[in-house]
């Protein structure tokens, strides 16, 4: 009874407004039997054995979720702690803005949870908490718990805390930023543990614009110190955030202070810092005047392209187009072409992959003569590179070079490379070439394309890798529209029928869709002559999977062919298939008949389709009965609506 009296007293004090984090209240919550019985089960017999109903009425209802929250925050079960954190907004609404500011936020600031998932959830929740503490005028109360989270060891927690601080800082009033946010940034930047300093780098671009001139000078000096920090992790963070910070700095200080910081980072002894400085090249290049960009950024890019670390060279190759945009077309042609050629011939395959993936974008900046003279020889070398991933990266973009180089150069220089890649042993290389054939067609025309590349395409239609065959099928309707009816019938018609009997379901399914798209392209008359007879002949195939494919093809072709051909040619085949011995065929017949019902006349439905469905609805197989009944219901609904 003594424990119970104490706990009830603590609850009453809470209702009267005492602090959630008071020692007495916390001690009360540590009584496990009271916790579980009173808080979680307020109507249980235990409670009523100790309290009168009049006493229970004194406990304010919003007390329960708050008490449960605090209880679960200390629970050993991580899922309970996570649930309570994710309900913070609900709890805050129950408490009201004032008590949220005075009790809930301080309680969260003092919470010493050591689980990263809980801390991550807290950092995320606090980022959208401004409405629950009374609006932007009280946003500063959210800074202390997030400041604590910025110092934890787990990177994802710190990143989320910085993101939430940036979101809050962007909404804060200028006086509050100066009074609360900037001191927070300075404290983190001066933190003894490196995690605080790492986090501070991501906050300068929020703090700087609102700072008075004296504080701006101090912030620039602090950022400069962070860029020279003893810990590489801090310098990495400073390098990755330099572009955002530089965008807020005045033009006069940009050249004087920021460029000095940038030059220090580009000469850092850690390659992980230098490769982040590569991104800074593109960001700073957009902020500087063209002449300053050429003077300060271009030499750095050229040096980075010869860096001893392949990771830095990889980053240059990956960011090359953005770097070219930063320095402009003329410096690119004069200074960056040799650098790019070096990257295309780099010793490391990863660097060549990144450089090969940018070849078309880079050629667009150059004139065709320069591209043919300098880049094309490298492309020829890469097409027979020892790394399949390099060849695949090249194949994914090389077709885009055709419009850049023009018709003559494409025919003389690029077509042999295309053919070489189309016959590559690695399927992804062949796949990447096939999917971009239309770009070449626009340049050299369908006649030349069909003469040079079509034999290779026909060969790939029987490729041993089903994904390559699938890519060919998906390209066929486009190729058919470009080739015309006559050429298609001669070269590709037989292939389209052959795919309907492929061993892989995805190929058969794509082939059924393909015949439908061909019928749409060339019209019902052509389909009636070249597709329908061959498709219907396959319904007698001994393998039931192929017969199912034909039923699927019929359901797709019927809307294209129209009611007359559907009734005369397609429907009899479907009705006959209802007598198949395989249940899978029979319930697919029911589904096809359901799809044909809206297409044909009601008289055909009554005389032909419904009797067949009624017969199937009495089939011994449960699945056949189910789909037949479903089709009959759909038929009834169509009849009622009409």
Which segments of 412-539 does DSSP mark as H helices, in order? 415-422, 427-434, 437-444, 446-452, 454-460, 466-483, 485-491, 493-499, 505-522, 524-530, 532-537
Model confidence over 501-542: pLDDT tens digits? Answer: 888 999 899 989 988 988 888 888 888 888 888 888 888 888
Q: pLDDT at position 56, please? A: 36
Report the length, in residues, of the chain: 642
Q: pLDDT at position 590, please? A: 92
Model confidence over 411-465: pLDDT tens digits? Answer: 888 888 888 887 788 878 877 777 777 667 666 666 666 666 677 777 777 778 8
Long-range contacts of 550-554 (CB under 8 A, 24+ apart): 550/500, 551/577, 551/585, 551/588, 551/589, 551/592, 552/509, 552/512, 552/588, 552/592, 553/500, 553/511, 553/512, 553/515, 553/516, 554/592
What gap in Å lies between CA 439 and CA 591, rounded to an integer? 40
72-97 average pLDDT score = 78
What gap in Å lies between CA 507 and CA 534, rounded to an integer? 18
What gap in Å lies between CA 421 and CA 383, rounded to an integer? 7
Percentage of the chain beyond pLDDT 70 is 83
DSSP helix/strand/coil, 250:
coil
Structure tokens at 637: 């609904």
What gap in Å lies between CA 11 and CA 440, rounded to an integer? 78
Report yes or no: 472 and 457 within 8 Å, Cβ to Cβ. yes
Report yes or no: 8 and 55 within 8 Å, Cβ to Cβ. yes
Q: Which of 44-53, 227-236, 332-341 shows the lowest mean pLDDT across its residues? A: 44-53
Q: Where are the domains of the chain?
A: 445-511, 523-641
DSSP helix/strand/coil, 600:
coil
CATH class, domain 523-641, is mainly alpha
First vs last Cα of the chain: how many Å apart?
Answer: 76
Element counts in the chain: helices (H) and strands (E) = 53, 0
């Amino acid at each position: 009874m003594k424990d119970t009296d104490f706990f009830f007293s603590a609850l009453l004090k809470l209702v009267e407004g005492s602090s959630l984090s008071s020692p007495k209240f916390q001690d009360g919550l540590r009584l496990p039997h009271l916790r579980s019985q009173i808080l979680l089960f307020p109507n249980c017999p235990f409670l009523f054995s100790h309290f009168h109903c009049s006493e229970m009425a004194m406990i304010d209802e919003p007390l329960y979720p708050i008490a449960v929250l605090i209880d679960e925050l200390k629970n050993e079960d991580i899922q309970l702690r996570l649930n309570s954190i994710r309900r913070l907004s609900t709890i805050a609404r129950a408490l009201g803005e004032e008590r949220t500011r005075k009790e809930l936020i301080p309680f969260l600031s003092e919470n010493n949870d050591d689980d990263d998932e809980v801390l991550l959830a807290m950092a995320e929740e606090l980022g959208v908490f401004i409405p629950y503490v009374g609006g932007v005028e009280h946003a500063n109360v959210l800074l202390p718990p997030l400041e604590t989270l910025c110092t934890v060891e787990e990177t994802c927690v710190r990143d989320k805390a910085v993101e939430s601080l940036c979101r809050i800082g962007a909404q804060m009033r200028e006086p509050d930023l100066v009074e609360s946010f900037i001191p927070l940034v300075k404290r983190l930047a001066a933190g003894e543990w490196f995690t605080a300093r790492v986090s501070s780098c991501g906050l300068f671009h929020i703090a700087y614009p609102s700072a008075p001139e004296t504080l701006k000078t101090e912030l620039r000096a602090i950022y400069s110190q962070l860029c020279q920090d003893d810990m590489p992790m801090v310098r990495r963070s400073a390098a990755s955030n330099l572009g955002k910070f530089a965008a807020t700095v005045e033009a006069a200080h940009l050249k004087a202070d920021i460029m000095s910081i940038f030059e220090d980072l580009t000469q850092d002894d850690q390659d992980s810092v230098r490769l982040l400085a590569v991104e800074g090249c593109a960001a700073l290049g957009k902020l500087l005047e063209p002449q300053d960009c050429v003077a300060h950024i271009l030499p750095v890019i050229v040096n980075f392209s010869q860096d001893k670390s392949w990771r830095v060279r990889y980053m240059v190759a990956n960011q090359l187009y953005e770097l070219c945009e930063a320095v402009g077309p003329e410096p690119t042609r004069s200074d960056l072409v040799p650098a790019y050629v070096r990257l295309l011939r780099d010793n490391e395959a990863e660097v060549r992959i990144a450089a090969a993936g940018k070849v078309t974008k880079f050629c667009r900046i150059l004139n065709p003569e320069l591209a043919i003279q300098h880049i094309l020889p490298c492309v020829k070398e890469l097409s027979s590179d020892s790394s399949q991933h390099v060849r695949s990266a090249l194949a994914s973009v090389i077709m885009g070079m055709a419009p850049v180089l023009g018709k003559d150069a494409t025919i003389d220089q690029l077509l042999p490379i295309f053919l070489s890649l189309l016959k590559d042993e690695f399927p992804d290389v062949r796949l990447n070439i096939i999917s971009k054939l239309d770009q070449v067609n626009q340049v050299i025309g369908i006649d030349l394309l069909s003469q040079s590349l079509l034999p290779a395409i026909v060969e790939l239609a029987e490729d041993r890798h089903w994904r390559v065959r699938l890519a060919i099928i998906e390209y066929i309707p486009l190729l058919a529209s470009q080739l015309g009816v006559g050429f298609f019938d001669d070269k590709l018609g037989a292939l389209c029928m052959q795919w309907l009997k492929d061993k892989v379901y995805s190929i058969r399914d794509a082939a059924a869709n393909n015949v439908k798209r061909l019928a749409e392209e060339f019209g019902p008359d052509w389909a009636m002559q070249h597709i329908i007879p061959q498709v219907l002949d396959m319904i007698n195939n001994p393998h039931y999977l192929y017969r199912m494919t034909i039923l699927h093809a019929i359901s797709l072709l019927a809307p294209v062919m129209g009611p007359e051909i559907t009734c005369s040619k397609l429907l009899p085949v479907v009705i006959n298939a209802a007598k198949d011995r395989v249940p899978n065929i029979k319930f697919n017949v029911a589904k096809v008949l359901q799809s044909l019902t809206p297409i044909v006349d009601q008289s055909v439905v009554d005389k032909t389709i419904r009797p067949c469905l009624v017969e199937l609805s009495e089939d011994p197989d449960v699945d056949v009965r189910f789909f037949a009944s479903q089709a009959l219901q759909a038929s009834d609904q169509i009849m009622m609506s009409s």
